[in-house]
Amino acid sequence: MLKGEGPGPLPPLLEQYVALRDQYPDYLLLFQVGDFYECFGEDAERLARALGLTLTHKTSKDFTTPMAGIPIRAADTYLEKLLALGFRVALADQVEPAEAAEGLVRREVTQLLTPGTVVEESLLTPEANYLAALATGEGYGLVFLDVSTGEFKGTVLYSKSALYDELFRHRPREVLLAPELLENEAFLKEFRKRFPVMLSEASFEPVDLEPTLAPLALRRAAGAALAYARATQGGRLAPRPFQRYDPGAFVHLPEATLKALEVFEPLLPGGKTLLSVLDETRTAPGRRLLRAWLRHPLLDRGPLEARLDRVERLVRDTPLREGVRRVLFRVHDLERLANRLLLNRATPKDLLALKRSLEALPELKKMGALEHLPDLLPLAEEIGAALKEEAPSRLSQGGLIREGYDPTLDELRARARAVLDFLARLEEEERRRTGIPTLKVGYNAVFGYYLEVTRPYYDQVPPDYRPVQTLKDRQRYTRPDLKEKERELLLAEAQALRREEEVFQELRAKVAQEAERIRGAAQLLAELDVYAALAEVAVKRGYTRPRFTGRLRIQSGRHPVVETQGSFVPNDLDMTEARVIVLTGPNMAGKSTYLRQTALIALLAQIGSFVPAEEAELPLFDRVYTRIGASDDLAGGRSTFMVEMEEVAQILKGATERSLVLLDEVGRGTSTLDGVALAQAVLEALHARGAYVLFATHYHELTRLDLPRVRNFHVAAEEVGLEGGLVFYHQVLPGPALKSYGVEVARLAGVPEEVVKRARLLLEGLLAGRGEGEKVLLELLSLDLNRLTPLEALQALKRLQEMARGVLV
């Protein structure tokens, strides 16, 4: 019910509001009242809380209810905030002029807006805006639909970890869950914790996805996405043909890997990401495609070499690269423009943006940047012939069709101009006829056109003037012929406006017939944009083309993100003879950076990009796993160590001889002995699998492993001065580090000097004890138990016991 106070019935306005709201119970109804969208009752309180608005009250004779609203002229700003907060919004607009209404102005819901289905450019970012749908059956059927571009695809996954990885890669704005999942409390709790996005209900009736021969779970998810999106778009939808894809056809990048490598999101607020470094794109479709390539790097050498060839051409040909980027800067979002055409949502400004974009395409053809680009220039010429360059964004404003384009419209405009000419002449003619020099012809919304005479000339007013309004010092009049001309003018203007709308709709329908060719051009331009962007980055940053030789050898490799933030020390990596590198050295020396840069170089190579190195020979990796950094899930009852072990478990289950594995400080979340044991066991297991492993650790025990394909490296650092100052060289060199320098790093971090000194003394004692402990072990191992007499055995045991007490003191 509508929240309010008072004994009487609802006022008519609120009755209309409640009737519309009841039709859309899951939406926040924004109800047009003049120049504002208003909410009432509990909805008003929700709106006020969400947007920080002042809550007022709607009061009638017998009823009072809370009220809050937003100005229609600034609605987009508020709607963007509401969608970001997860609201679904129904816009109820006045659908008749107030002066034409008999009683209360009629209102209807004209738009349904949800986070995953918006198509309005003002409410979208350049990124893909996915609606996801998820159903179960034989595995999880997962579908993604971008209503704004028509992208429509899906896959079947057979584990929750694979499902979560795919959802993390795509980051949908809204997710539809099948009833069996909404009713599964354990799944729902875990899902909400992993993906705090809007969850919505929909009909999961399966649809036919032939010829994909899709399983039932996928067809149900596709049916839900289509039905839900179609409902929000008033029954109109323009998806592309459904594409079933297999995540196994691409490099496997788990969620932990994407996070650790900061591919899409920085670990710290305001930080840079790999995407932000690479994103020199000039168009929105290009940016979306670049993100798609980073989501799913390729496994096959042929397509990768083809991409690299295109990037290299633009790297070598500077005029071509600069020309392409200059032209692309003028191209609008053709994907979304084409989709708005198919949805019948394109505005005059959309068509003009399309015209300017299509006019740029012949330049790309002329410079040889693109082959097989469709010839859409005649379409641009048609739009240019029809629309004025200064056309308004709304049809209702009129004045958008050029003179000479439509004979019927020209005739209606000529009629209106004839009346306006009459009115323009009337003032001068009446001044001459009446002898009243101050006589004026004016207009207002109440009386229409009038003749105005000031007080000194009242006695000269002709008898055919009929008074309609008296002001302080002037009188306004009308005449039968003036009213007739006014009716002629209003009729001609109304007919012209209707005809303009008809002409525009005919033009839009004609242009929409080419929407698929426009989409095809958009895809070609998006690829060209990505190639040009990657070439620009390669030239700016000094990247080189990688070679897929089956070996892992990087000369002077760099971290693509870190190097943009200051000076950077390049490092080599050669795993021709080794499959496992144990990397030691102090904290802050750059071990994690070295690990990450190796993975990022591999990732860049497998999207078809040049890489930050002087030279890079690489195998084609099937998976990239990382375990870097500490994280916990206290709300879920999982400690840092538990999260670490779960991630390690996933790596051990999935790693193959073609996988790249980065492990940083495995085992540090438990006791030293447990940690060393686990770290060694993990390292040995990965070594047995033949995976490429970079294993950073402070456990120096691991540097003494005798395994055929394990090599030791360290990040160089040096103590200087009597106080143990530490200099980091950030160079990776062969052999293990001599020590971890933990106390020195603590001093650099600002730990009080007395604590640092005490730690040094304790460390010296521990190291001395460790040396004595090794003596005890050597003594014990040197005993020949088969030759000892009972007395000698007791004496040896007593001696070892005394040595052990010395170690423990």
Residue 588, marked binder: yes
Residue 444, marked binder: no
Gap between the Cα atoms of 69 and 51, Å rounded: 10
Name 498's Cβ contacts closer than 8 Å, sequence gap at least 6.
none
Structure tokens of 682? 């993990």
Residue 215, marked binder: no
Gap between the Cα atoms of 787 and 783, Å rounded: 9
CA quadruple 354, 144, 277, 193: dihedral, nearest 10: 140
Name 271's Cβ contacts closer than 8 Å, sequence gap at least 6.
262
Q: Are strands 448-454 and 474-478 parallel, antiparallel or unpaired?
A: antiparallel
What beta strand segments (E) does 472-562 contain?
474-478, 547-548, 553-557
Q: Which residues pair with 590 in a beta bridge?
A: none
Q: Which residues pair with 65 in a beta bridge?
A: 58
* Whether the Cβ atoms of residue 668 and residue 699 lie closer than 8 Å to each other: no
Residue 591, marked binder: yes
Gap between the Cα atoms of 184 and 207, Å rounded: 24
How many CA atoms lie within 13 Å of 149's alpha carbon, on the beta-carbon side?
27
Gap between the Cα atoms of 383 and 341, Å rounded: 13
- CB count in 10 Å sphere of residue 381: 13
For residue 358, give the nearest of 322, 321, 386, 330 by alpha carbon: 330
Structure tokens of 104? 């209360």
For residue 142, give the nearest of 229, 29, 283, 242 by alpha carbon: 242
Gap between the Cα atoms of 115 and 173, Å rounded: 6
For residue 667, give the nearest of 634, 633, 696 by alpha carbon: 696
Structure tokens of 389? 């360059």
How many CA atoms lie within 13 Å of 415's alpha carbon, on the beta-carbon side?
18
Residue 566, marked binder: no
Q: Are strands 36-40 and 198-200 parallel, antiparallel or unpaired?
A: unpaired
Annotated binding site for ATP: 585-592
Annotated binding site: 585-592
